[in-house]
């Protein structure tokens, strides 16, 4: 199919190596925490636990380290610390391999908001990948004794959620000791629920032993580190709102969320906002509670990303990743094909076959190359356009970033059956 816009999709897996073909993994060097941990009422009544806690705070130790020390010295206190929701982030030297990194973050971005204590309320971040699943990995996790016991993953079809666990280590040939494994511990589907992740019928989830666990992965401008940093969270509200921001910015920037947001070197910011969120209480009633949530900010003038003259969105990355007849569009040039080339993929056909090439104003439809791909799949154009309008909004075909995103989605399907399944799931 000639003249069809080709997209180089960011974040595709590279070819397999001796260590296997794996998902994107971004190494991190230290954690910024979304809150603090405080002693339980029972632990506060224990002078030894109180002393260990206060000494650990003064020394800048991580809360996990402080809790381990209390449990080691006072075994009767199995869980001496509980999380506390606060309007600021916690940066402790004990959470970083290089304690000076924590001090550097606080020097650059901590604020005193009137109580005499510098705290981290808001800080800039740059995400290192254009796939939001890579910079905000998350899943359902049940922890055992110091390691993951069960966890959720998606099957290769991207729709089926499965429950996995570590496989037993087989014995070696002698049968007297475990076999030496290559490439880390093997995993397998959990036997219960036929390996499906089904929270409503999962014992661990209903007993609150399996919970949503996620983290943001980013770099911080001005902080010297080869590795990224992470911000753990288990808030479905924070992660859902972040996904909406990621997708909106990616749509406007030709699929990009990495790097600076504009020519002014604007970055994302991470802060906290207090919101009313609903939850189900022990009696099954819906109640609302005020909590501090992680908020992802993008302080940019969105109209600056729009090319007002022709209504298209065309970022530098779009120019780099879109090709037309093997030629990249230059600055200010739309990624749409010229009118005399639109429709080239669909030759004049017999009335009983595909529709004939359109003429006049319809021939200048900027989405024609994409609809030609739909024709090649064998899907009816009208149904696809209803699907695209519902999934991406009415303006997807009139900006280059939207068209690139839709075409990349089309290219991800292997056959008509997979594409029809996605269309049916959206349209019902």
Taking only the tens place, the pLDDT of each residue in 231-273 is 999 888 899 999 989 988 888 888 889 988 888 888 999 999 9
| Alpha carbons 264 and 41: distance in angstroms, whole number | 50
| Alpha carbons 14 and 137: distance in angstroms, whole number | 19
What are the DSSP E strand ranges found in 118-223?
Answer: 123-125, 138-143, 148-154, 161-166, 187-189, 210-218
Residues 6+ apart with CB under 8 A from 131: 10, 11, 24
Q: Which residue has the tokens 């004049």?
A: 348
| Alpha carbons 94 and 399: distance in angstroms, whole number | 47
- Please give the model's pTM, rounded to 2 decimal places: 0.64
Q: Contact 420/379 with Cβ under 8 angstroms? A: yes
Lowest mean pLDDT among 32-36, 211-215, 287-291: 287-291
Q: Which residue has the tokens 């992802």?
A: 296
Q: How confident is the model at residue 19 (pLDDT cuts 50, 70, 90)?
A: very low
| Alpha carbons 14 and 184: distance in angstroms, whole number | 20
Q: 3-state DSSP call for residue 271?
A: strand
pLDDT for the residue 16: 52
Percentage of the residues of the chain whose pLDDT score is greater than 90 = 30
| Alpha carbons 192 and 256: distance in angstroms, whole number | 40
pLDDT for the residue 306: 63
Q: How confident is the model at residue 23 (pLDDT cuts 50, 70, 90)?
A: low
Taking only the tens place, the pLDDT of each residue in 86-129 is 999 999 999 999 999 999 999 999 999 888 899 999 999 999 99
| Alpha carbons 160 and 162: distance in angstroms, whole number | 6
- The structure tokens listed for 385 are 């356009």
Q: 3-state DSSP call for residue 318?
A: helix
Give me the mean pLDDT over the 11-23 stretch.
48
Taking only the tens place, the pLDDT of each residue in 132-184 is 888 998 889 998 877 889 999 888 776 788 999 999 988 888 888 888 888 77
pLDDT for the residue 109: 95
Res. 400: pLDDT tops 80: no
pLDDT for the residue 124: 96
Q: 3-state DSSP call for residue 166?
A: strand
Averaged confidence pLDDT in the chain: 78
CA 22 and chain centroid, separation: 17
Give me the mean pLDDT over the 59-73 stretch.
91
CA dihedral 393, 396, 402, 403 (to 10 degrees): 140
Give me the mean pLDDT over the 272-293 stretch.
83
Taking only the tens place, the pLDDT of each residue in 198-223 is 888 888 998 889 998 899 999 999 99
Q: Contact 281/287 with Cβ under 8 angstroms? A: yes
Per-residue DSSP letter, 290: E
CA-wise closest residue to 247 among 237, 239, 255: 255
Q: Could you give the angle at the alpha carbon of 389 between the alpha carbons of 386 and 392, nearest 5°?
A: 140
Largest alpha-carbon pair distance within the chain?
Answer: 88
Taking only the tens place, the pLDDT of each residue in 357-392 is 444 434 456 788 788 888 878 888 889 889 888 888
**No. of helices (H) and no. of strands (E), the chain:** 12, 14
pLDDT for the residue 24: 62
Percentage of the residues of the chain whose pLDDT score is greater than 70 = 80
Q: Contact 271/277 with Cβ under 8 angstroms? A: no
Res. 17: pLDDT tops 70: no
End-to-end CA distance of the chain: 31
Q: How confident is the model at residue 343 (pLDDT cuts 50, 70, 90)?
A: very low
Q: Are strands 268-280 and 322-323 parallel, antiparallel or unpaired?
A: unpaired
pLDDT for the residue 160: 84
Res. 412: pLDDT tops 50: yes
């Amino acid at each position: 199919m000639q003249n069809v816009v080709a997209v180089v999709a960011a974040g595709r897996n590279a070819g397999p190596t001796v260590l296997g073909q794996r998902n994107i993994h971004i190494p991190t060097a230290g954690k910024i925490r979304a809150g603090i941990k405080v002693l339980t009422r029972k632990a506060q009544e224990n002078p030894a636990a109180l002393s260990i806690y206060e000494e650990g705070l003064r020394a800048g130790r991580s809360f996990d380290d402080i809790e381990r020390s209390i449990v080691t010295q006072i075994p009767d206190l199995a869980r001496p610390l509980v999380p506390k929701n606060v309007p600021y982030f916690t940066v402790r030297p004990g959470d970083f391999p290089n304690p000076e990194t924590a001090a550097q973050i606080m020097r650059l971005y901590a604020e005193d908001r009137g109580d005499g204590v510098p705290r981290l309320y808001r800080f800039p971040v740059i995400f290192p990948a254009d796939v939001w699943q890579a910079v905000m990995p998350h899943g359902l996790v049940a922890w055992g004794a110091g390691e993951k016991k069960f966890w959720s993953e998606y099957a290769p079809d991207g729709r089926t959620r499965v429950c996995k666990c570590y496989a037993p280590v087989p014995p070696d040939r002698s049968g007297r000791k475990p076999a030496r494994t290559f490439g880390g511990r093997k995993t397998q589907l959990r036997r219960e629920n036929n390996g499906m992740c089904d929270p409503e019928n999962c014992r661990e989830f209903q007993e609150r032993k399996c919970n949503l666990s996620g983290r943001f992965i980013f770099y911080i401008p001005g902080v010297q580190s080869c590795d990224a940093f992470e911000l753990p969270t288990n808030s479905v509200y924070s992660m859902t709102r972040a996904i909406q921001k990621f997708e909106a910015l990616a749509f406007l920037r030709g699929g990009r969320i990495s790097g600076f947001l504009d020519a002014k070197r604007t970055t994302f910011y991470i802060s906290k906002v207090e919101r009313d969120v609903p939850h189900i209480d022990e009696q099954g009633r819906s109640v609302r509670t005020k909590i501090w949530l992680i908020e992802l900010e993008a302080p940019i003038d969105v109209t600056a990303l729009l090319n007002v003259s022709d209504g298209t969105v065309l970022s530098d990355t779009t120019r780099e990743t879109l090709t037309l007849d093997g030629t990249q569009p230059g600055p200010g040039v739309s990624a749409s094909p010229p009118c005399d080339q639109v429709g080239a993929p669909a030759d004049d056909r017999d009335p009983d076959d595909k529709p004939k090439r359109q003429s006049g104003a319809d021939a200048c439809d900027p989405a024609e190359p994409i609809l030609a791909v739909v024709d090649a799949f064998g899907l009816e154009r009208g149904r696809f356009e209803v699907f695209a309008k519902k999934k991406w909004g009415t303006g997807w075909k009139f900006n280059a970033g939207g068209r690139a995103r839709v075409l990349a989605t089309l290219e991800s399907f292997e056959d008509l059956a997979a594409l029809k399944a996605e269309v049916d799931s959206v349209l019902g």
